[in-house]
């Protein structure tokens, strides 16, 4: 229609119709899969699990791990099925005793006011949830009815304990607290005290603190052993900070966690040219601590791929003192600025310290030269003439 009106050329319309709409016009950039997502979820799919019965051996944990719709469905069906099962038992007892036909049965029924399956179902609900409306009750006529009453009360208590415990544990799971523990989107590598350091920023959005907080880092990459064995998930842990034996932090405000890249670091041979999306490198960061309000241990996780590490960048300050207290500007939580950083590995920097001296000299000359130019171009705001002195 548009081609007939002369708005779109007919050649273009025919070309667009000849294209295959199912074929993508732009091919997405291939990126290495990650083991841990940015939100901390495990990106691993389990297939061909033959021993499914192992999950039933730990029913409580299986129920807690289920999604909320499945948990609520099991919660509802467990009560409905138990009510229906015992309603059938009460109906059979009344049927065997002849209580369903008024006037033909015994003078004293096993359960009063049960004349159909509906009344037996209502009595089953009253017994299990201990409502006790008063219209129906067990008499001493049938010992079997008394035994069923005891069994149903025990079964009801067990279902209540399991399902309510499952719901309470599911609402108080530790990873809920981890939703307010945030990490910077990118990690950076820059100089700190003359050494290359891997740095990231972590913060807590809540006012309640994380007690005994510790942070760990794991480098995950594919390696090959000297015997030729390919290890697809080779994990190498590396501590942060200056003290190698202690990884505890005091998370009262957003902190910059740094790892010194030295000879013992798995990043010792990492170069700026290796920070691309095809590089087989993933750094997993794990933050653990005890929630101050509940006392539950929580864990927050994230990971950084090679293309999510910025070389020669540094995080901007976000903590400032205002009106006698410290304030944090979370709008600049992940902002970085470029800083002078040698474009070499930490090994090359340790072998040739002149690279650092040249970088320091270059960075020192830059501001002096700019300042001298600024001073030369500056004009005085006022002048004193000789006449004013006389």
Residue found by looking up tokens 């890249």 in the block: 261
For residue 366, what are its two tokens? 């830059």
Q: What is the structure's pLDDT at 238?
A: 61
Question: In Å, how far are 28, 120, 136, 189, 295 from 37, measured between CA atoms?
Answer: 19, 53, 57, 21, 26
Check if the beta carbon of residue 356 is closer than 8 Å to that of residue 194: yes
- For the CA atoms of 244, 248, 254, 260, what is the dihedral angle to 10 degrees? 10
58-96 as b/e, with b when 16 or more CB fall inside 10 Å?
A: eeeeebbeeeeeebeeebeeebeebbeebbebbbebbee
Instruction: For residue range 230-246, list pLDDT tens digits in order.
Output: 777 777 766 665 545 45
Give the confidence band of 63 by pLDDT, cuts at 50, 70, 90.
confident
Whole-model pTM?
A: 0.68
Instruction: For residue range 97-153, list pLDDT tens digits in order.
Output: 888 876 655 578 888 888 889 999 999 999 998 877 677 888 888 899 999 999 999
Check if the beta carbon of residue 93 is closer than 8 Å to that of residue 148: yes
Give the confidence band of 302 by pLDDT, cuts at 50, 70, 90.
very high
Check if the beta carbon of residue 318 is closer than 8 Å to that of residue 254: yes
Q: What is the largest CA-CA distance in the chain?
A: 138
The answer on pLDDT for 182 being more than 80 is yes
Q: What is the structure's pLDDT at 304?
A: 92
Question: In Å, how far are 180, 202, 288 from 43, measured between CA atoms?
Answer: 21, 22, 20
What do you get for the CA distance between the two ends of the chain, in Å? 91
Q: How many CB atoms lie within 10 A of CB 359?
A: 16
Check if the beta carbon of residue 97 is closer than 8 Å to that of residue 105: yes
Based on its alpha-carbon atoms, the radius of gyration of the chain, rounded to whole angstroms, reads: 36
Q: What is the structure's pLDDT at 20?
A: 47
Residue 100 to residue 109: CA distance in whole angstroms: 9
DSSP string for residues in 239-293 = --SS-TT--EE--SS-EEEEEE--TTSTTTT--GGG-STTS--EEEEEEEEEETT
Average per-residue pLDDT for the chain: 79
The answer on pLDDT for 368 being more than 60 is no
Highest averaged pLDDT of the listed ranges 154-163, 245-254, 358-367: 154-163
In sign, the C-alpha dihedral spanning 69, 73, 76, 79 is negative
Domains, the chain, ordered by start: 53-172 (1.10.287.70), 177-362 (2.60.40.1400)
């Amino acid at each position: 229609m548009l081609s007939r009106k002369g708005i779109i050329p007919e050649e273009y319309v025919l070309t667009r119709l000849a294209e295959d709409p199912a074929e993508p016009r732009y091919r997405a950039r291939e990126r290495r899969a990650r083991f841990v997502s940015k939100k901390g979820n495990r990106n691993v799919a389990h297939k061909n699990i033959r021993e499914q019965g192992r999950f039933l051996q730990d029913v409580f944990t299986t129920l807690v791990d289920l999604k909320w719709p499945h948990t609520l469905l099991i919660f509802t069906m467990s009560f409905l099925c138990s009510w229906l099962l015992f309603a059938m038992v009460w109906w059979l007892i009344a049927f065997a005793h002849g209580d369903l036909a008024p006037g033909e049965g015994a003078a004293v029924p096993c359960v009063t006011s049960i004349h159909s399956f509906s009344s037996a179902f209502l009595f089953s609900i009253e017994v299990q949830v201990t409502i006790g409306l008063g219209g129906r009750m067990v008499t001493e006529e049938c010992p079997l009815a008394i035994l069923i009453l005891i069994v149903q009360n025990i079964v009801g208590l067990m279902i209540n304990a399991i399902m309510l415990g499952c719901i309470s544990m599911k609402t108080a799971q530790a990873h809920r607290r981890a939703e307010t523990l945030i990490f910077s989107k990118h990690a950076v590598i820059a100089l700190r005290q003359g050494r290359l350091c891997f740095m990231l920023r972590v913060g807590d959005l809540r006012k309640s603190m994380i007690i005994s907080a510790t942070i760990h880092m794991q480098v995950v990459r594919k390696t090959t052993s000297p015997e030729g064995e390919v290890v697809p998930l080779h994990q190498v842990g590396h501590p942060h900070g200056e003290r190698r034996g202690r990884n505890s932090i005091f998370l009262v405000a957003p902190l910059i966690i740094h790892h010194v890249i030295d000879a013992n670091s798995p990043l010792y041979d990492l170069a700026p040219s290796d920070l691309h999306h095809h590089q087989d490198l993933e750094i997993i960061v794990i933050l653990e601590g005890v929630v101050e309000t509940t006392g539950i241990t929580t864990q927050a996780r994230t990971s950084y791929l090679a293309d999510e590490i910025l070389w020669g960048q540094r995080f901007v300050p976000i903590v400032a003192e205002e009106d006698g207290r410290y304030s944090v500007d979370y709008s600049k939580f992940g902002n970085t600025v470029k800083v002078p950083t040698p474009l070499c590995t930490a090994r090359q920097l340790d072998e040739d310290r002149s690279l650092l001296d040249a970088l320091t000299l270059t960075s020192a000359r830059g501001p002096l030269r700019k300042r001298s130019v600024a001073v030369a171009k500056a004009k005085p705001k006022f002048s004193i003439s000789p006449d004013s002195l006389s």
